[in-house]
Structure 1
């Protein structure tokens, strides 16, 4: 059974360190690390969290390996993703993927960022269909249109 994500003290400290490094442009996780800023769905305030953006099939994807976290809800309310790494800033409109589309992306994500594997029931050797079965627990968003 997949591990459940909990934002404890250790993870908060790790996120703060990653935010500092990525914000300064220092590569994390093989240049997939970015800071994602969304607009809070209730507060309207900016919310920033470290994420990994991967490329699959010529498209760029945001994956939530830890499930239905805050930034997922925020993107569903306002489909604008602002990405930052060092001095590089990008603004994108996002589209949430259906399960069939998400399966291969989730599989590629776990292979590229294996530290997230314990949060999935599907194993690295499983086919994309096994990952598609978990798409409702691990939302996937395609970076659709640049708003630069």
Structure 2
């Protein structure tokens, strides 16, 4: 069975539209690690904000792209600065994209902690970490490296 392919359809747009104002008010709406990620648009230079989940693994905090190389991934690759906010709390971070070996245990932790994204992975949460290394090229992972507080 192959992983489902992500498409930003009406349902996801509606969910994002409902979750964004909740997170902006400080309500943990997108799961325990739900935050608003703001990046600089790689073409427009305008700020772009989307709800994401931050996962903690291996003593670090990570951004995972469970749906593949979506717009915020391209934006972070062009300008490795991420502003994370929920309510009145906001932090700006420099991010580093992880290689496959580093990303594998993070992806495994992500699927286990946020199972709603599992259909977009070939590997299952119970699979060994090596199965997630093969997923890394389809699910970019970024370490929150240095706070710019």
TM-score (norm 1): 0.98
Is there any run of 5+ residues in structure 1 with no aligned partner, and where?
none
Instruction: Give the alignment's Cα RMSD to 1 decimal.
Output: 0.7
Between Structure 1 and Structure 2, how many residues are aligned? 148
Q: Which aligned pairs between 1:29-40 and structure 2 lie closer than 5 A?
A: 29-40=30-41
- CA–CA distance in structure 1, aligned partners of residues 55 and 137 of structure 2: 19
* Stretch moving more, 47-56 or 23-32: 23-32
Q: 1:16 is paired with a residue of what secondary structure?
A: helix
Q: Deviations over 1:65-91 (max 9, x none)?
A: 000100000000000000110000000
Off by >2 Å, runs of 4+ in structure 1: 28-31
Q: Which aligned pairs between 1:31-50 and structure 2 lie closer than 5 A?
A: 31-50=32-51
* Stretch moving more, 124-133 or 33-42: 124-133
2:72 aligned with 1:107: no
TM-score (norm 2): 0.97
Matched with 1:125 is 126
Is there any run of 5+ residues in structure 2 with no aligned partner, and where?
none
Matched with 1:16 is 17
- CA–CA distance in structure 2, aligned partners of residues 134 and 84 of structure 1: 28
